[in-house]
Amino acid sequence: MRIGVVGAGKIGKLRVQTVKEHAASRLAAVFDVSAEAAAAAVRGTDARAFTKLEEFLSVPMDAVIVSTPPHLHEEAAVGALSRGCHVLCEKPLSNTVEGGRRIVEAALANKRVLAVGFNLRYYPFVKFVRAAVDAGKIGKIDHVRIYGGHNGLHNFSGDWQYKMPESGGGAMMDIGIHMTDLARYFLGEITQVSGVMSEKVYNLPGSEDNAIAVFSNPDGVPASYQTTWTEWKGYRSFVEVYGDRGMVRGSYAPMMNMLITNKGPNGAIDRKFELYPEIIVREKLKSWQSTCLISFREELRDFRVMVYGNVNVPLADGYDGLRSLEVAQAVRQSTAEAKLVKLPVLGRMPKVAS
Ligand SMILES: NC(=O)c1ccc[n+]([C@@H]2O[C@H](COP(=O)([O-])OP(=O)(O)OC[C@H]3O[C@@H](n4cnc5c(N)ncnc54)[C@H](O)[C@@H]3O)[C@@H](O)[C@H]2O)c1
């Protein structure tokens, strides 16, 4: 598979590395507004470096990975899809719901795979929760609790990361978009949203620093959701799924899991803990990016599986990307109008013939 990469910043460099390492993939081209970044990304390969999108898109390619800031995703993703390429786009799919919808429409019209980089699905703490739920260990899901936060602006290396016109919003579009996706990953769908967001700490117009909401699936199963840029302890996230026979929790960072199962109201309780000392040590030595890189390798593997016609993989698709944007917008609407916002069932994107 000939793969092009758009954006060779922190994340784009990792995406390029996964393509270079993959035996059945070949880096075809890299596009970045910075000639140095593009040139550095293609070094050691016969791929070409570009600083103009049109020239990049004229290279014969099978797929494109988009890893520029969110307000630039649409032009690159729609351009690649309409030239017949499959696309793996970084989260958030776009800075606006409308932009996300246009990207999805381009994928449908051109019958191409559109995947979205919700890579937390591939982190071991989330895989553990998924496996416990799928194995029926906690019984029928009763509710979900999701949290993701960090200490805000100190974490950002570029202005686009917190300025609404580029990012599309604040905490809900940053770490919160991963948590929205995980809420839907466990609920199956999100069709009702009510919540409150605020921007009283950093006072950045349109960039909420906190949002607290309740999402529900079509059966009325709820998820409580909180995302924040005022988690003064630093990066923290967790997902907890409660069932009628127990609960399972995954948290990061540090990464750990807990599974509690019971055999009925008066039955014995089993507790299982999973710690990840090798990940904790690796991240101390090689940073969080080393865990991110492993998840990107798995996303690339499953992206290829989707391109070859099997959508039964954890990789998020365009509808996952779009619904997470719609949910963030619904929290804003719910805040402004003090009401419950309803969304139709969206599901998974149709399979693309291989
Ligand atoms: N999946 C994850 O865990 C994760 C983590 C962080 C960021 N992201 C997402 O990845 C994407 C990139 O984030 P990043 O941290 O690498 O950003 P970055 O600022 O490090 O890199 C962005 C790159 O885009 C290039 N660029 C800027 N304007 C451009 C233009 N007009 N045309 C072409 N290139 C342009 C820059 O030169 C830079 O190389 C964003 O969508 C972000 O939300 C995902």
Q: Give residue-wise pLDDT tens across range 257-314.
A: 999 998 766 778 999 999 999 999 999 999 999 999 999 999 999 999 999 998 899 9
- Cα-based angle 234, 240, 241 (whole degrees, multiple of 5): 165
Rounded Cα distance between 250 and 288, Å, is 17
Query: Which residue is closest in CA terms to ligand 1's atom 39?
Result: 9
What integer pLDDT is reported at residue 151 of this predicted model?
Answer: 95
User: Which tokens is 12 given?
Assistant: 């784009």
Q: Which of 288, 314, 323, 291 is nearest to 92 (CA)?
A: 323
Q: Indicate the average pLDDT of the chain.
A: 96
Q: What is the pLDDT of residues 47-68, one digit of tens each?
A: 999 999 999 999 999 999 999 9
Q: Where are the alpha helices (DSSP H) in the chain?
A: 10-21, 35-42, 53-57, 73-82, 97-110, 124-134, 164-167, 175-187, 277-286, 289-307, 318-337
Instruction: Confirm whether pTM is higher than 0.85.
Output: yes
Ligand 1 centroid–CA 88 distance in Å is 14
pLDDT tier at 155, thresholds 50, 70, 90 = confident
Ligand 1 centroid–CA 31 distance in Å is 12
Q: What is the pLDDT of residues 91-104, one digit of tens each?
A: 999 999 999 999 99
Give the binding-site residues of ligand 1, using a 6 Å CB cut-off.
7-12, 32-34, 37, 67-70, 72, 90-91, 117, 119, 158, 292
Is the torsion defined by CA of 38, 52, 80, 319 positive or negative?
A: positive
Q: In ligand 1, which atom is closest to the CA atom of 31?
A: 33
How many alpha carbons fall within 13 Å on the CB side of residue 350? 9
Q: Which of the listed residues 5, 6, 11 should we mutate to test ligand 1's pocket, taking the one with most ligand atoms within 8 A of CB? A: 11
Token pair 């699905």: residue: 121
Q: In ligand 1, which atom is closest to the CA atom of 12?
A: 16
6 forms beta bridges with 31, 66
Identify whether the C-beta of residue 161 lies closer than 8 Å to the C-beta of residue 174.
yes
What integer pLDDT is reported at residue 266 of this predicted model?
Answer: 74
